[in-house]
């Protein structure tokens, strides 16, 4: 049994869009400037916010998702292990909550930011929008505090608040809510993070991001109660975790698509593959003309639709990918990676041909399609599991295709809705769903073993 006593804070919000990521980056940069070695986490399934964490701290940010990890006690057990493992050697753990503090699976708090705070003993700081702040803000904070039955909520930070408003109402807000005020950020137009249909732009797309971070950090040094933040971070309980590290199975080479079009990867997915013996070789479907020598392929999600023309024009790479998969190279493709395996992408009057591993086309819709958490059940044995295997999944996309697969059955949690999905064969697992490999570590082991068999077959030729 491992024990983790690291000081920690979870930055939660009243709702999506209140400024959690901005405040988180200001705090992370501020603590780093003060000499702290900070490790970052994100509750929930989001890929984009951890990219900003990584830009601030220059170290990977990890997801803590109590649903994708396996739900309930199993999810908590795996989250405790990963938190304990990755916090080792750090002086402070900061976690950014997803959506609103109590927003979880379906109409419950399951797996939301509050559930992570409770499971891993995170003292929580609530970010509230101060754009039109007045006396009633204290009532909002009090409501969140009263619903926090675990007593995790320890303070609040007001975002986009005028200094004069904060100083005038600070003590009144504290008295009304019974929660300590920990500082504020004024509205800083030059630090606004732009958005599009899936949320914030990725960190790599934001112009002058380091300059924005510097402005946030310098501002926060003057407006936050750093002593109180540190005291709250230290007032927590230890996390106990079993050592769940997976032993290496076989040495295999995995080709990982990673560039502007394909950039959605959980750090712990890649880490688990490495733990099992994989060597990772990254390539760009946008600019490379051939695959690296490999025994397996991983095509992550991202924004291939924004680069449809460039992907279509890279004939050598899409041909190499098509040939490799047709020859039996094991492949895992999720969401954007799955789209790239289709025949073409349609947009307006344009048709962009892609790798044509799977017949079918895709196009952008005007609304999210099958958004949220679901449970996937495998209808037959495949490269990632046995018949009947249940794997928690998440979907977040605005496109849809004419061939989403039918080898698995997805069921929406909290709703009586099911649909067939996924292409699942002895060597291919592809579809719109996103997965965390710690929700199905046995599947990751099966994938690596399949890659090892493929390598052996090549060597015997």
φ/ψ (deg, to 5) at 429 = -135, 110
Confidence (pLDDT) at 367: 83
Is 221 in the same domain as 328?
no
Does residue 405 lie within any of the structural domains? yes
Residue from 25, 294, 331, 335 carrying the catalytic annotation: 335
Residues 319-341 pLDDT 10s: 999 999 999 999 999 999 999 99
Confidence (pLDDT) at 433: 98
Please provide the DSSP assignment of 146-213 as one string.
HH-TT--EEEEEEES--HHHHHHHHHHHHHHHS-EEEEEE---GGGPPPEETTEEPPGGGSTTHHHHH
Is 170 in the same domain as 284?
no
Q: Among 435, 394, 388, which residue's Cα sits nearest to residue 407? A: 388
Residue 55 DSSP one-character state: H
How crowded is the C-beta side of 401, counted as CA atoms within 13 Å? 29
Residues 134-191 pLDDT 10s: 999 999 999 999 999 999 999 999 999 999 999 999 999 999 999 999 999 999 877 7
pLDDT confidence tier of residue 260, bands split at 50, 70 and 90: very high
Residues 79-127 pLDDT 10s: 999 999 999 999 999 999 999 999 999 889 999 999 999 999 999 999 9
Is 187 in the same domain as 308?
no
Is 129 in the same domain as 226?
yes
Is 215 in the same domain as 185?
yes
Residue 87 maps to which CATH number? 3.40.50.300
Is 307 in the same domain as 198?
no
Is 356 in the same domain as 455?
yes
Task: Give me the mean pLDDT over the 48-76 stretch.
Answer: 95
Does residue 246 lie within any of the structural domains? no
Tokens of 299: 């095509």
Please, is 132 exposed, middle or buried when counting C-beta atoms within 10 Å of its C-beta (0-12, 13-18, 19+)? exposed
Is 199 in the same domain as 302?
no
Does residue 139 lie within any of the structural domains? yes
Q: Among 81, 31, 75, which residue's Cα sits nearest to residue 53? A: 31
Is 302 in the same domain as 445?
yes
Rounded Cα–Cα distance for residues 190 and 184 (Å)? 17
Percent of the chain with pLDDT over 90: 89
Does residue 180 lie within any of the structural domains? yes
pLDDT confidence tier of residue 307, bands split at 50, 70 and 90: very high
Residues 263-282 pLDDT 10s: 999 999 999 999 999 999 99
Residue 278 maps to which CATH number? 3.40.50.880
Rounded Cα–Cα distance for residues 92 and 72 (Å)? 26
Q: Which of 213, 241, 269 is the last residue of a domain?
A: 241
Percent of the chain with pLDDT over 70: 99
Residue 61's contacts (CB-CB under 8 Å, 6 or more residues apart) are: 40, 41, 42, 49, 50, 51, 53, 54, 267
How crowded is the C-beta side of 69, counted as CA atoms within 13 Å? 25
Is 352 in the same domain as 275?
yes
Whether 335 sits among the annotated catalytic residues: the reply is yes
Task: Give me the mean pLDDT over the 296-307 stretch.
Answer: 97
Range of the domain at 426: 252-460
Is 285 in the same domain as 237?
no
Domain count, the chain: 2
Does residue 247 lie within any of the structural domains? no
Task: Give me the mean pLDDT over the 42-53 stretch.
Answer: 96
Residues 361-417 pLDDT 10s: 999 998 888 889 999 999 999 999 999 999 999 999 889 999 999 999 999 988 889
Q: Which of 194, 217, 241 is the last residue of a domain?
A: 241
H/E stretch holding 372: strand 372-378
Does residue 435 lie within any of the structural domains? yes
Q: Which of 208, 241, 274 is the last residue of a domain?
A: 241
Does residue 220 lie within any of the structural domains? yes
Rounded Cα–Cα distance for residues 170 and 310 (Å)? 52
| pTM beyond 0.85, yes or no | yes
Rounded Cα–Cα distance for residues 138 and 146 (Å)? 12
Task: Give me the mean pLDDT over the 301-306 stretch.
Answer: 96
Q: Among 300, 247, 253, 248, which residue's Cα sits nearest to residue 451? A: 253
Locate tokens 């999210």: which residue? 368
Q: Please say if the pLDDT value at position 197 is more than 70.
A: no
Is 105 in the same domain as 204?
yes
């Amino acid at each position: 049994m491992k024990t983790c006593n690291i000081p920690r804070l979870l930055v939660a919000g009243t709702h999506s869009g209140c400024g959690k990521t901005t405040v988180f980056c200001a705090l992370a940069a501020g603590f780093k400037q003060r000499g702290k070695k900070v490790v970052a986490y994100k509750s929930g399934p989001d890929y984009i916010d951890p990219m900003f964490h990584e830009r601030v701290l220059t170290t990977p940010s990890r997801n803590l998702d109590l649903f994708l990890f396996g739900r309930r006690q199993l999810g908590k057990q795996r989250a405790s292990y990963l938190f304990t493992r990755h916090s080792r050697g750090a002086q402070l753990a900061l976690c950014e909550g997803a959506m609103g503090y109590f927003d979880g699976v379906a109409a419950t708090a399951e797996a939301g930011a509050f559930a992570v705070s409770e499971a891993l003993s995170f003292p929580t700081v609530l970010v509230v929008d101060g754009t039109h702040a007045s006396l009633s803000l204290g009532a909002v904070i009090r409501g969140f505090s009263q619903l926090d039955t675990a007593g995790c909520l320890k303070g609040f930070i007001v975002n986009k608040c005028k200094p004069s408003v904060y100083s005038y109402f600070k003590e009144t807000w504290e008295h009304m809510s019974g929660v300590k005020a920990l500082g504020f950020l004024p509205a800083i137009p030059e630090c606004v993070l732009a958005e599009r249909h899936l949320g914030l732009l990725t960190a790599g797309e934001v112009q002058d991001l380091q300059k924005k971070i510097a402005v946030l950090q310098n501002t926060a040094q003057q407006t936050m109660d750093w002593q109180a933040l540190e005291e709250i971070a230290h007032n927590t309980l230890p996390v106990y975790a079993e050592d769940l590290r997976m032993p290496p199975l076989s040495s295999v080479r995995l080709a990982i698509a990673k560039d502007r079009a394909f950039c959605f990867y959980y750090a712990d997915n890649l880490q688990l593959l490495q733990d099992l013996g994989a060597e990772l070789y990254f390539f760009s479907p946008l600019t490379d003309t051939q695959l690296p020598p490999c025994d397996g392929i991983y095509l992550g999600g991202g924004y291939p639709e924004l680069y449809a023309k460039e992907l279509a024009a890279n004939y050598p790479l899409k041909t190499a990918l098509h040939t490799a998969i047709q020859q039996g190279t094991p492949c895992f493709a999720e969401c954007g990676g799955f789209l790239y395996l289709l025949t073409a992408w349609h947009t307006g009057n344009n048709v962009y041909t892609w790798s044509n591993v799977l017949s079918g086309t895709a196009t952008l819709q005007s609304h999210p399609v099958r958004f949220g958490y679901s449970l996937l059940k495998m209808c037959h044995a495949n490269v990632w599991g046995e018949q009947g295997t249940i794997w928690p999944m998440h979907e977040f996309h605005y496109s849809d295709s004419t061939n989403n697969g039918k080898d698995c059955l997805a069921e929406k949690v909290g709703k009586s809705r099911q649909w067939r999905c996924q292409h699942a064969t002895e060597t291919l697992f592809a579809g719109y769903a996103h997965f965390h490999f710690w929700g199905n570590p046995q599947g990751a082991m099966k994938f690596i073993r399949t890659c090892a068999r493929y390598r052996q077959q090549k060597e015997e030729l």
